[in-house]
Amino acid sequence: MAKGGFPGMGGMNMNNLMKQAQKMQKQMQEKQEELGERTLEMTSGGGAVKVVITGKKEIKELKLNPDVVDPEDVEMLEDLIMSAVNEAIRQVEEMYNNEMGRMTGGMGMGF
């Protein structure tokens, strides 16, 4: 076995492997911070409800079209809000998975 190497590692020494892992970890942390600053906008009910969410899954804005506020049908409004918020969260998760998948070469590291 070569000094500092492992069988089957193609002669790569442990120091180089550690440096590459640390570099990738730093890049992933920077990407996570960048994604956390992004905002996404989702709507439901044809634009009746609008949600703005950050990459940290924080709701920054919630707008309701006054036309959908019907005191006789609060349940419909609740459903529209839930739909918009759930879709916003799903989009943030998809954004993270896509971006991190590019960095990890598709190693399946979900966030």
The whole-angstrom separation of Cα 36 and Cα 60 is 12
pLDDT of 21 reads 87
Residue 24 counted as domain residue = no
Residue 69 counted as domain residue = yes
Helices 74-104 and 14-37 pack at an angle, to 10 degrees, of: 150
Instruction: Give residue 7's pLDDT band: very low, low, confident or very high (50, 70, 90).
Output: low
Structural domain count, the chain: 1
Residue 71 counted as domain residue = yes
pLDDT of 101 reads 86
Structural domain span for residue 57: 40-103
Residue 31 counted as domain residue = no
pLDDT of 10 reads 55
pTM given for the model: 0.70
The predicted model gives 32-56 an average pLDDT of 93
Residue 56: which CATH number?
Answer: 3.30.1310.10
Residue 29 counted as domain residue = no
Strand order in the sheet with 39-44: 39-44, 49-54, 59-64
| pLDDT at residue 8 tops 60 | no
Instruction: Give residue 9's pLDDT band: very low, low, confident or very high (50, 70, 90).
Output: low
The pLDDT tens digits for 58-104 are 999 999 999 989 999 999 999 999 999 999 999 999 999 998 888 77
Other C-beta atoms lying within 10 Å of the C-beta of residue 44: 20
Residue 22 counted as domain residue = no
